[in-house]
Amino acid sequence: MHTRVTPASSHAASTRRSRVRATERPDAARNGAMSSSSNRIAGGAPPTYVVGAGMVGLCVAWRLQQEGVQVVVVDRDEPACGCSFGNAGALSFGSVAPLAMPGTVWSAPGMLLDPNGPIHIPLRYWLKAMPWLIDFVRAARPDHVERIAQSLALFLAPAAECHVEILREIGATDLLRFDGQLYLYRNTRQLASDDATWNLKRRYGLRAEVMARDAFLELEPRVGPKYEVAVFTPDQGSSIDPYRHAMAIADDFVRKGGVILKEEVTGFARRDDRITGVVTHSGTLEAERVIICAGAWSRQLLLSLGYDVPLESQRGYHVMVARPDSGIRRPVILSDRRVFVTPMSEGIRAAGTVEFGGLDLPPTARRLNLLARHFAEAFPEIEPLADGARWMGHRPCLPDSMPIIGKSERHNGLWFAFGHGHLGFTGAAVTGRILASEISGQRRNVDISPFSIHRFDPGRRVA
């Protein structure tokens, strides 16, 4: 689920152009795959249900389908309507440093006190956010940071390869670009405050080159005078349209016999310790297995089964700030503001900020205005759009910056793939590969135990 704060003709039109529409009822899923009488795949066996039609859920479903598994994706909204619609489109496989770095923890109070800062917690939400923040501080211990970085490095290493594999198969490789990413800093002192993060990323293989202003202007000549130094990561990439990217996968999934069902999952059917289906407003849908890919809504969905994970929505915003021919060539990150400026097919998108506020509070207009202002400060010579689309969405964030991936130890037939935080787009395709391999029995040489949901069980927490 997402919020389009203001309509914009090009953005609104893009959501209507998709060839895939989710079916409204189980008995309407008629493309040869579903039986209305039993909610089973024709032939007798119940399908695998993927709960959540965002980028992660679609990649999981697509990969399972490639392995011969009959899959139904179920979501209360149309496909790719959440962060898959509005994210920054950055493919950042080198982002192995957790958000909870010691330097970040020490600088967070200053960011929170700065009304123009990149982090915002509404006064009425502080008490609710406090348990998550305490876990976040614990995760910043040096030994935890090293363990998290090692796990994320193994997880993200094949991320680009996995995206390209899917896009090549579906004939949509034009959606990805590998022009690198440019991280701007106002001065060398500001850059030095991120030394620990960059050193950690380099240690795990990311190429990152420090550039003086004259050098980075050769890459991005429209950057204004407030930024004096930059770090360039030449191997990283971006999507020219995250929504169209996700929908290309959804289109291919349906074309090959998959079903996308527009229903809200409200609970689960159980037999002893086995999950046997999902409960919706239209009834119970029998399942061979259920995979939770519901993003920021995963926690409340799983509470009925006794899973209480510290999943928090870090609300992110975007503003379409300039025309596509504005001269920005690659993702440019305003490091002091935690803002990504990404060139996309429909224009330049400024995306970012972190706002706590849960799933129900309305968008904050000030955060949107700040994005536009930060863009104007960084690129003063680019004429901004007067009526660019504005959006807010919910990043599903865990305090240790690692997603939850794998199967339940308590409920047979229950699997998880959520909590990717700021790396949902980057990690979606590799998550699909991992789960498809685990479920089909073709296990790869990847240890996914660090991503288990049970790391948050009482008595088993390491942070």
The C-alpha angle 318, 419, 315, rounded to 5 degrees, equals 30
Q: Which of 18, 171, 194 is nearest to 103 (CA)?
A: 194
d(CA 271, CA 391): 42
d(CA 346, CA 329): 14
| pLDDT tens profile 18-37 | 445 555 544 433 333 343 33
pLDDT tens, position by position, 394-430? 999 999 999 999 999 999 999 999 999 999 999 999 9
Strands 229-233 and 209-212: antiparallel
Query: What region does 405 belong to: left with phi over 0, alpha with psi -120 to 50, or beta?
Result: beta
User: Which residues touch 326 (CB under 8 Å, ≥6 apart)?
Assistant: 222, 343, 347, 348, 379, 382, 383
Instruction: Tell me what pLDDT residue 245 has.
Output: 99
Q: How far apart are CA 228 and CA 7, in angstroms?
A: 36
Count CA within 13 A, CB hemisphere, residue 247.
Answer: 19
pLDDT tens-digit profile of 70-125?
A: 999 999 999 999 999 999 999 999 999 999 998 777 777 777 777 778 899 988 99
Which domains does the chain possess?
Answer: 2-84+243-310+401-456 (3.50.50.60), 101-139+176-234+311-395 (3.30.9.10)
CA 106 from centroid of its chain's CA atoms = 26
Instruction: State the Cα–Cα distance between residues 308 and 310, nearest whole angstrom.
Output: 7
User: Helices 55-66 & 242-255, crossing angle to 10 degrees?
Assistant: 30
In angstroms, the CA 26 to CA 259 distance is 10
- Looking at residue 25, what is its pLDDT? 45
Which residues in the chain show pLDDT less than 50? 1, 7-19, 25-38
* φ, ψ (nearest 5 deg) of residue 129: -80, -15
Phi-psi region of 155 (alpha: psi -120 to 50; beta: other; left: phi over 0): alpha
